[in-house]
Amino acid sequence: MKINIVSLFTGMFETPFSDSIIKRAREKGLVEMSMHDIRDCTTDRHRTVDDTPYGGGAGMVMMPEPLVQTVESIEREKKSISILMTPQGEPFSQKIAHELVDFDQLLLICGRYEGIDERAREIIADREISIGDYVLSGGEIPAMVLVDAVVRLIPGVLGNDQSIEHESFEEGLLECPQYTRPEVFRGKRVPPVLLSGNHAEIEAWRRREALKRTRVRRPDLLKDLPLTERDEG
Ligand code: ADE
């Protein structure tokens, strides 16, 4: 998968994309990342990228010309999608991460300042995504969030493909509690069923605990979940 990032602050991506899972994915050749600085498409001496809003008001708006030029200078793969990171976009989710992993190319556009010129938005964005109902200083951190969530779903990126299956949200539920050694820590015991070696019982316990946790912490997730007879009991 190719990932192209359009931003005014391309340096922000250096560390997050040079460590851990994303680093490994790049080294294995499973993802190829490139950054595109919008200022490289300016034509004036000051490399201007923003201007005051028509109609007045506070703040600055990103000008359409350098932004659209930057996006249009990027070579597109056959199965490619451009995504504008904006608090006005659709809320990001594990479901959207799964949709995006099917593309050969993600072109992520990071806005800054009070927003981007509406005409540029119409021209360059196939989809608009928000990472939550709060306003960050720009789309860079949201783009990192999206990249992390998508890259770890690319087959071969995680060592063990099973590790995705039971994660939070994959089955519409939060994940069940996890334990490792020691068996007793500060007087707290690992639930005995996990030591029983009875795989059917362990599975049933995990499902029950995942449901319990979801019911308490995120009851909204249960609305859309088809519960089995066993779950209802
Ligand atoms: N840019 C600023 N805030 C954002 C958010 N919450 N999601 C996506 N992009 C943003």
> Radius of gyration of the chain from Cα atoms?
22
The number of residues in the chain equals: 233
**Spatial distance between the Cα atoms of 202 and 223, rounded to a whole number of angstroms:** 25
Low-confidence residues in the chain, pLDDT < 70: 161-162, 229-230, 232-233
Residue 93: the pLDDT is: 97
Separation of CA 100 and ligand 1 centre (Å): 18
Separation of CA 218 and ligand 1 centre (Å): 23
Ligand 1 pocket test, pick from 9, 86, 109, 148 with the greatest ligand atom count within 8 Å of Cβ, gives 86
If you take atom 2 of ligand 1, which residue's CA is the nearest one? Answer: 136
Residue 130 and residue 90 in contact, taking contact as beta carbons nearer than 8 Å:
yes
Residue 160: the pLDDT is: 73
**Spatial distance between the Cα atoms of 230 and 28, rounded to a whole number of angstroms:** 42
Residue 233: the pLDDT is: 59
Nearest to 178 by CA among 166, 160, 196: 166
Nearest to 24 by CA among 167, 152, 164, 165: 152
Give the angle subtended at the CA of 229 by the CAs of 226 and 233, to the nearest 5°: 115
Atom of ligand 1 nearest to the CA of 137: 2
Q: Which domains does the chain have, with CATH numbers?
A: 2-151 (3.40.1280.10), 165-232 (1.10.1270.20)
Separation of CA 69 and ligand 1 centre (Å): 22
**Adjacent-strand bridge partners of 3:** 33, 106
Q: Where are the alpha helices (DSSP H) in 78-154?
A: 94-100, 118-124, 140-151
Ligand 1 pocket test, pick from 6, 131, 140 with the greatest ligand atom count within 8 Å of Cβ, gives 131
The model carries a pTM of 0.94
Residue 167 and residue 175 in contact, taking contact as beta carbons nearer than 8 Å:
yes
Residue 229: the pLDDT is: 64
Atom of ligand 1 nearest to the CA of 134: 6
**Sign of the C-alpha dihedral computed for residues 225, 85, 60 and 118 taken in this order:** negative
Give the angle subtended at the CA of 168 by the CAs of 228 and 2, to the nearest 5°: 125
If you take atom 9 of ligand 1, which residue's CA is the nearest one? Answer: 86
Mean pLDDT of the chain: 95
If you take atom 10 of ligand 1, which residue's CA is the nearest one? Answer: 86
- Here the tokens at position 209 are 């605990």
Write out residues with Cβ below 6 Å of ligand 1. 85-87, 130-132, 134-136, 138-139, 142
Residue 112: the pLDDT is: 86
The DSSP element (H or E) to which 207 belongs, if any, is helix 199-217
- Cβ neighbours of residue 143 under 8 Å, at least 6 residues apart? 5, 7, 13, 85, 108, 110
